[in-house]
Structure 1
Amino acid sequence: MTDTCPRALTTLADAPASEFDLSDPAFITDPAAGERWTGGPRPVCRGRFADGTDIWVATAYEDVRKVLGEPTLRSRPPGDSHRESMLSRGIPEDIVDMFDSTLLTMDGADHMRVRRLVTRALSARRMQALTPAITRVAHRLLDDLAGKPEPDLIADYAHPLAIIVICEMLGVDEHYREQWRDWSETLAQALRPNPEQFAPAVRGMARMTKEIIEARQAEPRDDLISELVQVHEEDSDRLTDDELVALAMVLVQAGHETVRNLIALGVFTLLQHPEQLKQFTSDPSIAAKAVAELVRHTAPVKHTFRRFATEPVEIGGVTVQPGEAIQVVLAAANRDPEEFEQPQELDLTREHNPHLGFGRGAHYCLGASLALIEGEVALTALFERFPDLQLAVDPAEIAPRYLLAMQRLPVHLTPRKGEE
């Protein structure tokens, strides 16, 4: 562990600056910049958010656990700064209030009220029941892959599988999905948005979501959006107009982006660890455990949103003062040697694996069960169908960056015997 920050600090202003600077373009362009903060924990110290403001940064496992479970740390900043931040990122003023009504920015009673409406629909048991349908989608996409000389496993497999599954579950019609995918790619760059692209994407996604909701109001179906519409119509106090639209948008956006990254990073990482890949393909019984280890090791979600202190709170030997922000690096916490044995090693049969890849506490990822099932199905089906799959480019060309998900994953395919 590199001890770059004193442990007896009481204010953010007292702390020396660290290398964790999300406003630095290196976090997008230089793989080494991110690796310095995902390779393991450091003491809590001062960093910089993408907008240039100072933040505390927590990377050690126990510090991250405390931040994620601390009720006095809130998602929404004090005063009007959150609204101003959204406007500065290109969110149109007329829909800012709607974007301020998402689960990601809610806390306390409001957060639990909205969260409870979808928790049952996304329960582990209900997600497990989707496995046959997810498997059919995966095999259909693999059929299409077989005819391509050099397919891109992100564009041709990981992304369509993730978007198809979440859209079918929610009830987003097929003719919306390609447009939604394009907008989602733009919104995924929320920390470094292009205002000319970001505002139209946000507005278009909100408009399309309202269209889908109106269609379900007129003609309900057996899908999650129809369930939410029914709740809204029966009791608008449980779910307001803005909350309904924002919730549907967040579920689609978050429900496919994390899965896309998990599948892409999983394939990339397994190909870099041939002995582990051999173990994965030869022993189907380890699939669930293996995917959990891939979440820990590859960190499809590198960090969480900032949390803001409402009263002084001690984290890792420093005091986060009211109004100050702290950000946790999940990727580093999941490689903490105080919690994990040989944390830098990929071990698909790891027994002790209380990873924080999906967060913890009140904001624990609602779609964690679905993501794990999709990852298990997607990776198992892919390597069963193409056991000798290989990268078509040098790994350094496509290696993931800290703030930029893998953009492409070109491969050469070799089908199993009997399918040539």
Structure 2
Amino acid sequence: MTAGSTSSQETEFDLSDTAFITDPAAGHRWMSAPRPICRGRFADGTPIWVVTRHEDVRAVLSDARFTSRPPGDSHVRSMLSRGIPQDVVEMFDSTLLTMDGADHSRVRRLVTPALSARRMRRLEPAVERIAHGLLEELAAEPEPDLIDRYAHPLAISVICDLLGVDEGYREQWRTWSETLAAALRPDPEQFAPAVRGMAAITRELVEARRVEPRDDLISELVRVRDTDGDRLSDDELVALAMVLVQAGHDTVRNLIALGVFALLRHPRQLALMRSGQLPISAVVAELVRHTAPVKHTFRRFAAEPVHLDGVTVQPGEAVQVVLAAANRDPGQFDDPGELDLARPTCPHLGFGHGAHFCLGANLAQIEGEVALTALFDRFPEVRLAVPAEEIEPRFLAPMPRLPVHLS
């Protein structure tokens, strides 16, 4: 690595350090103190450049010189080194997340219309029915866990409804999705069966929709595949469905859980939300900025020398973009560490930016709006059942539980 300024040497962001999973303060330091590009290590110990400032994050994510794959290579080597079997690596390495250029644009164009803001708004009544049904089930429970009993089932039900995953598979897919969410530090004994199982069931669903199409996303993708096979291969179809389920479940689960936790810790902000003075869309946008349901992107790799903030990133070197830190950048936001639902503007990067901007952002926004509104309307006196310090979110580990008293 070549540095053009000593600022790049000041701190190391080490994703291989277990403190990022076990210590809330470790992640908070990076969420609250964006700094110039600096050296770091990825979860497997390999070197990376770490980008945390809002302006720099936007620059990396919109610059085609940074790709999803190292030049002449892929993520295969890193995953194989961590014990992930070859067949699983090949499936996981052929998704939208690891595509660039023409292939990425081709596949993304096929699914983008189905996830447009207008179409997602049409799903809002269905999301409301799911949310209200789950809350009704909670009413008799003395101390429910809102993650296990609300955020999890709502997120997986909505994304499975959209894709057309049958009811009998959903609990299994929820388990698989949670396993895939740990892709940064995968356990090969759990990760490999999850990828294989999800791929096998997806192929079954694809064949079933060929015989009997329905009004769901898998049927639409099958129609596109069979009408013009050059536009989407069967493997790409399967990989796309898997990514949508995993991302749609994990991101929304985190958004609901972290959003509720933040509001319960900021009663004045919760009262402001419940007053109806603010559009719920602005509330969710600020919660995404403040809580960072997605902490970072997949690594990007320089395809040629790139000068960034006084540093030259050489070809093949990896860059880790930290969305959570960019959304706490004082150069972009006033009082960035404060939850401020009335913030005049909120140009957050919580769903990424550029060509790889989250496909499911529209759906996540709507699910967040519905989930929060329904919860606090149904249970206006909801409060934490344990001290907040006991369940303080970690940087790289999902919030494990959210026990509450509903009245």
Question: TM-score category by the smaller chain?
Answer: over 0.9
What is the aligned residue count? 407
CA distance in 1, matches of 2:286, 2:92: 33
Partner of 2:208 in structure 1? 215
1:99 to 70, 89, 92: 92
State the match for 1:232 in structure 2: 225
Q: Is the 8 A contact 2:8 2:38 kept in 1?
A: yes
> Greater shift after overlay, 294-303 or 87-96?
87-96
The residue identity in structure 2 corresponding to 1:332 is A
CA distance 1:104–1:206, change in 2 (3 Å): same
Give me the whole-angstrom Cα distance separating, in 1, the residues matched to 2:74 and 2:288: 33
Match among 361, 365, 369 for residue 362 of structure 2: 369
Identify the range of structure 1 (148-157 vs 333-342) with the bigger mean alpha-carbon deviation: 333-342
- 1:339 pairs, out of 332, 339, 353, with 332
Amino acid paired to 2:259: G
Deviation (angstroms), 1:213:
1.1
Between stretches 20-29 and 230-239, larger displacement belongs to 230-239
Normalising to structure 1: TM-score of the pair? 0.94
- Partner in structure 1 of residue 403 of structure 2: 410
- Residues 21-420 of structure 1 aligned to structure 2 (within 5 Å): 21-283=14-276, 285-414=278-407
d(CA) in 2 for partners of 1:321, 1:291: 38
Tell me: CA distance 1:81–1:113, structure 2 relative to 1, closer, same or farther (3 Å): closer
Shift in Å, 1:314: 1.2
**Partner SS for 1:71:** coil
Whole-Å Cα distance in 1 between the matches of residues 40 and 6 of structure 2? 11
Q: Residue 49 of structure 2: SS of its match in structure 1?
A: strand
Q: Distance in 1 between matches of 2:126 and 2:388?
A: 32
Q: Any idea what the Cα deviations from partners look like across 1:25-65, whole Å, max 9, x if unmatched? A: 11111111111111131111101000101100111111111
Partners in 2 of 1:54 and 1:259 — Cα distance? 30
Change over 3 Å in CA distance of 1:17–1:213 after alignment to 2: farther
RMSD of aligned alpha carbons: 1.7
Q: Distance in 2 between matches of 1:351 and 1:14?
A: 32
Shift of 1:344: 1.2
Partner deviation per Cα, 1:275-294 (whole Å, 9 max, x = no partner): 00011111164211010000
| More displaced 10-residue stretch of structure 1: 11-20 or 388-397 | 11-20
Aligned equivalents of 1:325 and 1:78: distance in 2? 11
CA distance in 2, matches of 1:89, 1:134: 38
C-alpha deviations, 1:324-364, integer Å up to 9, x for none? 01111111111111111111111111111111010100000
Query: Counterparts of 2:207 and 2:213 in 1: how far apart (Å)?
Result: 10
Alpha-carbon shift at residue 304 of structure 1 (Å) = 0.6
Range with bigger deviation, 130-139 or 88-97:
88-97
Cα distance, 1:94 vs. partner?
2.4
CA contact (8 A) 1:73 1:310 kept: yes
Q: Are the equivalent residues in 2 in contact too, given 1:303–1:328 (CA < 8 A)?
A: yes
Contact 2:92 2:195 in 1 (8 A): no
Of the structure 1 ranges 330-339 and 259-268, higher mean CA displacement relative to structure 2 is found in 330-339
TM-score by length of 2: 0.97
Are the structure 2 counterparts of residues 118 and 13 from structure 1 closer, same or farther at C-alpha, using a change threshold of 3 Å? farther
Please tell me the residue identity of whatever aligns with 1:279.
L
**DSSP-derived class of the 1:70 partner:** coil
Alpha-carbon contact 1:12-1:324 (below 8 Å) kept? no
- Give the SS at the match of 2:319: strand
